[in-house]
Structure 1
Amino acid sequence: MKSTYEQNLPITTWAEEDRPREKLLAQGRRSLSDAELIAILIGSGSRSESAVDLSKRILNSYQNNLNTLGKLSVQELSKFKGIGEAKAISIIAALELGRRRKEVDTPELKCVFSSSDIFHVLEPYFADLLHEEFWIILLNKRNAIINKILISKGGLAGTVADPKIIFKAALEHNAASIILAHNHPSGNLKPSPADIKLTKKIVEAGRMLDISILDHVIFCDKKYYSFADVGEL
């Protein structure tokens, strides 16, 4: 015989300690599963499916990966039966708050000495982006960060980074060196021919101005590709 919870009965009929809201109050936030937390956000399910079951179905569609869920649009979430625009917006807003909290909680690195340092500095800016962005980090002679600057935004396939804008920013801030960075929302970590060509162009221009290009890092989900690490600068 199926248990009470497997018969898709409303959450209000569940034992009080198993209802997400009551469970959070009684046992704390960490006692709840991802599906139960999302169920609190969406509030209610339907006659045939509880809010928890609906949340499980959504998570299961994306291999229970919250990072993937955080990239969905309102339209994509609304495709699930039982999720309207308002519920989709609630889910997206909560996941975005979580991303921003991570950005605030991550201690700011004062100096950059490796591709790993670059990743930790810029990963919060690239997380969950569905379009390409090109950023630079400006450093002084001690490799201390002077500034982080967004150079351009583009679409899914690419963005245009103008070397004149990059070096104008470097000169205005008296930077000794520059780190280049952009993301690949397409999921392909490998640099494109355009990426390689642009990197070489900026490196050569930097030599003329006595401004070093220390690295060009490509971000893709939780991974990165460093031109410096593979000896391509």
Structure 2
Amino acid sequence: MYKKPSIKEWAVEDRPREKLLVQGTRSLSEAELIAILIGSGNSKESAVELARRILGAVNNDLATLSKKDAAFLLKFNGIGEAKAVNIMAALELGRRRKEQAASVKTTILNSRDAANYFRPLLEDLPHEEFWVLLLNRSNTVIDKFMVSQGGVTGTVIDVRLILKTALEKLACSLILCHNHPSGNIQASEADKKVTQKIKEAAQLMEIAVIDHVIIAHDQYLSFADEALL
């Protein structure tokens, strides 16, 4: 009868906790880090082997894994709800760490600066979100806020909410941003219409919409650069 070996009987490479304590976090592979999160494998696989199989299912791409839900993880033998939650929570912490890095007060000088600011927030999401960046007269970031969150194909935008927040924060200009989870970088007719609607409404309050950036995975499109504003 098969008896699953204890951790002490594993090969050194299958003991990620000990390796982390001795050599540090940077010494571990992504599979080993996930193995620490799940703790144990199943009757046929160690935690590391199971983690490798999970990563293999997403072509070893953590960004793709971060978009998966619990149902995806629960398909793997040895992954229950608690382990699935551990993996999802860890990936979300990584995303939020990137968000905090993006939230440092900075000056936006061009579309690349705007895209780099929003990428940590949006590039890995499986759904669409619409955000607004508020700037002062020197184009320094005052604040950012999410206007709406939707499905894979779109969100609903409340122009009044955008202007209310901009006025409260004394913003001089706005940069709009949303993501295309599909990876399609092109601006849709709906994207163009909502941009024009927000721009015209903001002008009445003497607030300029200086760009609308679309994030699509590792690419971006700038309305300002493409003369779409």
User: Please, what is the CA RMSD of the aligned residues?
Assistant: 2.2
1:25 is matched with 21
TM-score by length of 1: 0.87
Please list every run of 5 or more consecutive structure 2 residues that lacks an aligned counterpart in the other structure.
Answer: none
For residue 129 of structure 1, the aligned residue among 125, 129, 143 is: 125
Separation of aligned partners in 2, 1:186 and 1:77: 22
CA contact (8 A) 1:10 1:50 kept: no
Deviation at 1:17, TM superposition (A): 6.2
For residue 212 of structure 1, the aligned residue among 189, 208, 212 is: 208
For residue 183 of structure 1, the aligned residue among 179, 184, 187 is: 179
TM-score by length of 2: 0.88
For residue 156 of structure 1, the aligned residue among 144, 152, 157 is: 152
| Off by >6 Å, runs of 4+ in structure 1 | none
Deviates more, 1:206-215 or 1:63-72: 206-215
2:106 is matched with 110
* 1:73 and 2:73 aligned: no
Tell me how many residue pairs correspond in the alignment.
226
1:84 is matched with 80
Deviates more, 1:149-158 or 1:191-200: 149-158
* 1:35 and 2:28 aligned: no
CA contact (8 A) 2:128 2:154 kept: yes
Cα deviation, 1:141-184, whole Å, max 9, x if unaligned, reads 21122221222222222111122222232233332211111122
In structure 2, the residue corresponding to 1:194 is in which secondary structure? helix
In structure 2, the residue corresponding to 1:216 is in which secondary structure? strand
Do the aligned partners of residues 200 and 191 (structure 1) sit closer, same or farther apart at CA in structure 2, a change above 3 Å counting?
same
Q: Percent identity?
A: 54
Deviation at 1:90, TM superposition (A): 0.8
In structure 2, the residue corresponding to 1:170 is in which secondary structure? helix
AA in 1 matched with 2:114: I
For residue 55 of structure 1, the aligned residue among 23, 33, 51 is: 51
Do the aligned partners of residues 56 and 204 (structure 1) sit closer, same or farther apart at CA in structure 2, a change above 3 Å counting?
same
Separation of aligned partners in 2, 1:31 and 1:198: 48
